[in-house]
Amino acid sequence: MDNGYIPFNKPFIIGKELYYVAQSVLSAHTAGDGPYSRRCEALLEERFSVAQVLLTTSCTSALEMAAILCDIAPGDEVVLPSYTFVSTANAFLLRGARLRFVDIRPDTLNLDETRLEEAISDRTVAIIPVHYAGIGCEMDAIMPLARQRGLSVIEDAAQGVNARYRGAYLGTIGDMGAYSFHETKNFICGEGGAFLTHDPDFVRRAEIVREKGTNRPQFFRGEVDKYTWVDIGSSYLPSDMLAAFLYAQLEHMDEITAKRQRIYAAYQAALQPLASQGLLSLPTIPGHCEPNHHMFYIVVGDHATRTRLLAYLNQRGVNAVFHYVPLHTSPVGQTMGYRRGMLPVTEDVSERLIRLPFFYELTESEVSRVAELIAAFFAGGQAGA
């Protein structure tokens, strides 16, 4: 298997996924909010000590729910990093928000909290920290600033499920949080996500918004005698068949995280010599952040080296990839008046970062092969201009 192709990602099963999916089908409750959805939500609420978790069809839809719950009106501003996935921005843009992109820290690649103050105006209503690679943003700086300025904090914790910042689980620190269970994340069900909040007002409204703007959840609890249209909303709840799959994954959360930690450590040990020689840099994990080992990335010296190293690895069967095209320099970002040069750290990192294959079933020998190829690339002088 040693010379086989190594994909970037590979979905996996670890326990009773297929059995639970069959149970869900046979139980004749395959729509949303069924028994497996409830089990997933209860497990996450208890484990992460959060008042309410609602499964959603994706992290994207959880973010859209958060944007609705913030009552964003056209012209309101939200502050977010540009170095992120498009959904962080689209959820708010759909409500008519103006996007204020801030630069990232060069160490964790998270939103630079020292840049927030200058990005906040009279129109700002929310800050959207994105916990890149499952490493917590500096919430100790972000939360007090948000409280002082009366802003909501919505954590994009798509990559941060089961990771902690000063002991608190990511996604449970701000006013609302959003998780992803997409097949590229740590715990998966194909497409899926969750909305999290502690706030009792949001709790009540979130279940309405998720159920097409109806009070159907209250009807099922017997709190109202008929259900009707009470708010705006959409269909943000996943089938219980997907929740069944997810529940099996959540039952093995510790095992999945421990395995990912071993993969991470193997990459780290194998690539440390190259980092010591100054050929590349490895991820930074601050001591107060307990990671979930969502990804392993390296940052090489310049864009040309990255292009050559990606080609070198992919030609040899290793599907290493890069991301993100910064949102502020994308076609949509440019229509908002953003230009190259405005967010230098984001632009620099986005041209030099490489994500290495990382998934539950990746073996130590596959990690060694990836690392050896990277070493061979640099030893062969391929890195020069």
Ligand X SMILES: *Cc1c(COP(=O)(O)O)cnc(C)c1O
Regarding 65 and contact with ligand X (CB under 6 A), the answer is no
Regarding 60 and contact with ligand X (CB under 6 A), the answer is yes
**Minimum distance of ligand X from residue 364's CB (angstroms):** 26
The Cβ of residue 11 has, within 10 Å, a number of other Cβ atoms equal to 13
Cβ atoms 111, 86 nearer than 8 A: no
**Minimum distance of ligand X from residue 51's CB (angstroms):** 22
Q: Which of 304, 310, 301 is nearest to 374 (CA)?
A: 310
Q: Closer CB to ligand X, residue 107 or residue 372? A: 107
**Minimum distance of ligand X from residue 84's CB (angstroms):** 5
Contacts of 311 (CB under 8 A, 6+ apart): none
Cβ atoms 192, 177 nearer than 8 A: no
**Minimum distance of ligand X from residue 373's CB (angstroms):** 26
Of these, 88, 257, 281, 350, which contacts ligand X (CB under 6 A)? 88
- CA distances to 66, 87, 145 from 149, rounded to whole Å, are 19, 25, 6
Which stretch in 18-26, 65-73, 152-160, 314-322 sits in contact with ligand X by CB under 6 A?
Answer: 152-160
Regarding 85 and contact with ligand X (CB under 6 A), the answer is yes
Contacts of 157 (CB under 8 A, 6+ apart): 131, 163, 170, 171, 177, 178, 179, 196
Q: Is 36 left (phi over 0), alpha (psi -120 to 50) or beta?
A: alpha
Regarding 182 and contact with ligand X (CB under 6 A), the answer is yes
Regarding 156 and contact with ligand X (CB under 6 A), the answer is yes
Which stretch in 155-163, 238-246, 275-283, 364-372 sits in contact with ligand X by CB under 6 A?
Answer: 155-163
Regarding 155 and contact with ligand X (CB under 6 A), the answer is no
Regarding 59 and contact with ligand X (CB under 6 A), the answer is yes
Regarding 271 and contact with ligand X (CB under 6 A), the answer is no
Would you state the structure tokens that stand for residue 319, as one six-digit string? 């599907």
Place of tokens 């060694």: 368
Regarding 101 and contact with ligand X (CB under 6 A), the answer is no
**Minimum distance of ligand X from residue 360's CB (angstroms):** 17
**Minimum distance of ligand X from residue 67's CB (angstroms):** 13
Burial class (CB in 10 A: 0-12, 13-18, 19+), 29: middle
Q: Closer CB to ligand X, residue 283 or residue 305? A: 283
Place of tokens 């099922």: 220
**With contacts defined by CB under 6 A, how many residues of the chain interact with ligand X?**
14
Of these, 9, 52, 82, 87, which contacts ligand X (CB under 6 A)? 87
Cβ atoms 328, 343 nearer than 8 A: yes
Q: Is the Cα dihedral 104, 187, 1, 368 positive or negative? A: positive
Q: Closer CB to ligand X, residue 77 or residue 155? A: 155
* Residues in contact with ligand X, shown as a per-residue x/- string from 191 to 230 under the rule CB under 6 A: --x-------------------------------------
Which residue ranges make up the site for ligand X (CB under 6 A)?
A: 58-60, 84-85, 87-88, 130, 156, 158-159, 180, 182, 193
